[in-house]
Amino acid sequence: MTQKEIEKQNFILWYSLYATEKELEIARTNNREILDRLLKEYAEEVDKVNRTRHLYERIIQSKSKKTQGFDATLKINCFSR
């Protein structure tokens, strides 16, 4: 794994999954140029992680809600002639 690949993986994981609002604010204040460069460079990957996380959260939330059951019995009336 190259240094560039390690940087990419570390940034995406940190920004998308682990960074708190406070850490992001500090990064915006102290390292704005670097953060902007990394966000621009890896925007597509960050977006993929965010979309996947939101989808996962929706699935988990929907499983926690109880669904109402229903009877799907099919009744067929046959009339003989």
Range of the domain at 43: 13-64
What gap in Å lies between CA 31 and CA 25, rounded to an integer? Answer: 10
Angle at 63 between CA 58 and CA 67, to 5 degrees: 120
Specify the pLDDT at position 10: 93
Residue 70 lies in a domain: no
Residue 38 lies in a domain: yes
pLDDT digits (tens, 9 = 90+) for 28-57: 999 999 999 999 999 999 888 888 888 888
Q: pTM higher than 0.85, yes or no? A: no
* Number of domains forming the structure of the chain: 1
